[in-house]
Structure 1
Amino acid sequence: MIDEKGDLTMAIGVVWYPPIDQQAYDAMREKVLAASLANGQQFHAAGEADGRWCIIEVWETRDGLERFIREDLAPAFGIVEPGQGDVPRPELIFDVHAR
């Protein structure tokens, strides 16, 4: 991917283990789907893994991910999971070598 300055940018992979269940996930997803795509999310998969909810994503840029977390995920988390603490953050972020 080429950014607005003409520089090559690398997609990033993200792994989350948010402290939510499927019901909260579904409610959150409904609120943030359009924003995630507008901010450069290219792939999303979610499901339960060893008793925890796991989300795996690919984003065009880290800036797009950070903007999404700050502007869209944080407000939605506050509505769906009020009083549950800090907004979830990815547990793992890595450069995507191949897609």
Structure 2
Amino acid sequence: MAYAIAHYFPGGTKEQYEASIAAVHPAGGKSLPKGQIFHAAGPSAGGWSIVAVHESKKSWEQFRDDILMPQMKTGIKGGFTSPPQETTFEAHNLQK
């Protein structure tokens, strides 16, 4: 079942997003990581929001544990400086 993740970075900016996505997505942020089937990001009230959908919860956990968190822990130059507020859910309906 598809698994959705919504991240909100209070005070986050487009520049922080672009630095972060370049560090954690293939081809410098120009393509999706293995298992991710959707990605959208943009400004939201008081910060920056990202929504991603993975093929499964396992796919999300693998990306999070193997790529995202190690990069965030070591710091991404120019990237987000604090963890996001996170909401996750199994997608009941996913239309492509």
TM over 0.5: yes
Displaced runs of 4 or more, over 3 A:
none
Once the two structures are superposed, residues 30-74 of structure 1 have per-residue CA deviations (whole angstroms, 9 ceiling, x without a partner) of: 121129521x11000000110211011111111111121121112
Q: State the AA in 2 paired with 1:14.
A: I
**Match of 2:4?**
13
Unaligned runs of 5+ in 1: 1-9
Tell me how large the CA RMSD over aligned residues is. Answer: 2.3
Where does 1:1-99 land on structure 2 (aligned, <5 Å)?
A: 10-19=1-10, 20-34=12-26, 37-38=33-34, 40-77=35-72, 78-80=74-76, 84=81, 88=83, 91-98=86-93, 99=95
Q: Percent identity?
A: 31
Find the structure with the greater CA-based Rg: 1
- 8 Å Cα contact 1:14-1:90 kept in structure 2: no
Q: State the AA in 1 paired with 2:48.
A: W
How many pairs were matched up? 86
- Structure richer in strand, relative to its length: 2
* Mapped partners of 1:55, 1:61: distance in 2: 18
TM superposition score normalised by structure 2: 0.73
SS at match of 1:29: helix
